[in-house]
Structure formats: C-alpha cells, structure tokens
C-alpha cells in the first residue's frame, strides 16, 4: 500500500510538471533566483558576484515599478518588460567570461537531462505500482510532452501579458488533467480517489 501511495504522489506530480515549471517562470524573481543558483557553479570572483547582484536588483526593481504602472497600454508594457530583460541578459553576458558562459550552458543542459531522467523513472514507477499498460504509459508520456511544449509556447509568446499567460496555463492544466483521466481505467481512477481520501483522512487525525 505504501508503494502505491508513493506512486500516486509521483503520478500527480507528473501530470502537472509542465504547469509547475512554467508557473515558476511567471515570477521573474524566482526565475532570477534559479539563474543565481546555477551561477554558484561558475566560480565567480567577488567583483563578478557584486556586478551580477547589482544587475539582478536593478531588474527586480524595474519590473516591480513596471507592474505598478497602470497608465500604460498592454503593448507598452510588453515592450518595456522585454527591454528590461534584454538589458539584464546583456549585463550578465558582459560580466561572464567565455569559459563561464560555456559552463553555464552546460549546467542548463545537465539540469534538463537530469529532469528528463527523473521523469522517466517516475513514469516507470507508476507503471509498476499502478499496473499501467504499455499503451497507457505511451499516452501519459505523450500527454506530458505535449503539455511541456504548449507551456513553452505560451511563455515565449511576447504578445501575451502575465495575466493572459496564467489564464492559458490554467486552461492547459485543466485540459491535461482531462486527457490524463481518459487514459486510466475506471478502476484505476477509483483507486486513486480512494487512496487520496485515505491520505487526507490520515493528515486530519
């Protein structure tokens, strides 16, 4: 039973991975924090760290001020935000050496590879514990990959405001859940609901 519960936790996480990742990106402060974490692997000098921190704080304040401005059009907002982020990127590139830029690109590549490996292991665990068929596994994987691609497209659409992106991501998540339910059998869905209720009852005690 314990293994099944763990698998269900993984299943729930798997179905919303794309949405969770992209939701984090919707917050520029979290996105910058993620970049900062990778920067720690670059052996930055004290001067470089100071310059990057200054650029990060400047970007943070500029975005905060921009979000407070209610007297500009959506088009103006998008243009100003794009300009702020472009300036931040240029500032970072000026601070890093060619070798550090290469290391950063490699770190991002490795992070993506590790995430894909983790997702594959989770899916294999679900297959074992929930007795999923090969066809179900293939459909869940395809659903996950399609959601990842769709979320990426939404975020890279500079014509959308943060509110519009959030709305589309929420709609995408709902669509993803419905597609997921169509893959499972009624028995599998009932099992998930029963175990979810057991988990909630246990927490309430």
pLDDT in tens, 81-125: 889 989 988 988 888 888 888 888 888 888 878 877 887 887 787
CB atoms near residue 20 (< 10 Å): 13
CB atoms near residue 185 (< 10 Å): 13
Is the sign of the CA dihedral 124, 116, 163, 167 positive or negative? negative
Distances (CA, A) of 195 to 9, 99, 150, 184: 10, 50, 31, 15
Tell me what pLDDT residue 42 has. Answer: 78
Q: DSSP states of 80-115 as a string?
A: HHHHHHHHHHHHHHHHS-HHHHHHHHHHHHHHHHHH
CB atoms near residue 28 (< 10 Å): 19
- Mean pLDDT in residue range 74-81: 86
Do residues 62 and 77 touch, judged by C-beta distance below 8 A? no
How sure is the predictor about 26, in pLDDT bands with cuts at 50, 70 and 90?
A: very low
How sure is the predictor about 187, in pLDDT bands with cuts at 50, 70 and 90?
A: confident
Is the sign of the CA dihedral 174, 177, 182, 187 positive or negative? negative
Q: Is the pLDDT of residue 40 over 70?
A: no
pTM given for the model: 0.48
Tell me what pLDDT residue 36 has. Answer: 55
Mean pLDDT of the chain: 76
Do residues 142 and 180 touch, judged by C-beta distance below 8 A? no
* Higher-scoring residue by pLDDT: 201, 19: 201
Domain boundaries, the chain: 2-204
Tell me what pLDDT residue 71 has. Answer: 86
How sure is the predictor about 17, in pLDDT bands with cuts at 50, 70 and 90?
A: very low
- Mean pLDDT in residue range 119-142: 81
- Mean pLDDT in residue range 174-192: 85
Residue for token digits 């103006």?
76
Give percent of the chain above pLDDT 90. 6
Q: Is the pLDDT of residue 34 over 80?
A: no
Give the Cα separation of 151 and 171 in Å (integer).
11
């Amino acid at each position: 039973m314990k293994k099944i519960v763990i698998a269900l936790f993984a299943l729930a996480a798997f179905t919303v991975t794309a949405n969770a990742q992209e939701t984090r990106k919707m917050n520029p402060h979290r996105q910058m924090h993620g970049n900062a974490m990778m920067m720690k692997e670059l052996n930055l000098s004290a001067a470089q760290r100071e310059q990057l921190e200054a650029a990060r704080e400047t970007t943070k304040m500029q975005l905060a001020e921009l979000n407070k401005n209610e007297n500009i059009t959506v088009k103006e907002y998008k243009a100003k935000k794009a300009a702020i982020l472009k300036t931040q990127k240029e500032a970072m590139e000026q601070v890093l050496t060619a070798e550090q830029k290469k290391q950063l690109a490699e770190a991002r590549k490795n992070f993506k590879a590790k995430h894909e490996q983790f997702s594959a292991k989770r899916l294999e665990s679900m297959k074992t514990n929930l007795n999923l068929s090969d066809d179900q596994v293939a459909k869940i994987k395809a659903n996950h990959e399609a959601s990842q691609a769709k979320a990426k497209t939404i975020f890279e659409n500079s014509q959308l405001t943060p509110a519009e992106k959030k709305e589309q991501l929420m709609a995408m998540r709902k669509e993803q859940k419905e597609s997921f339910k169509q893959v499972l059998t009624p028995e599998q869905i009932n099992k998930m609901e029963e175990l979810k209720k057991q988990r909630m009852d246990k927490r309430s005690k």
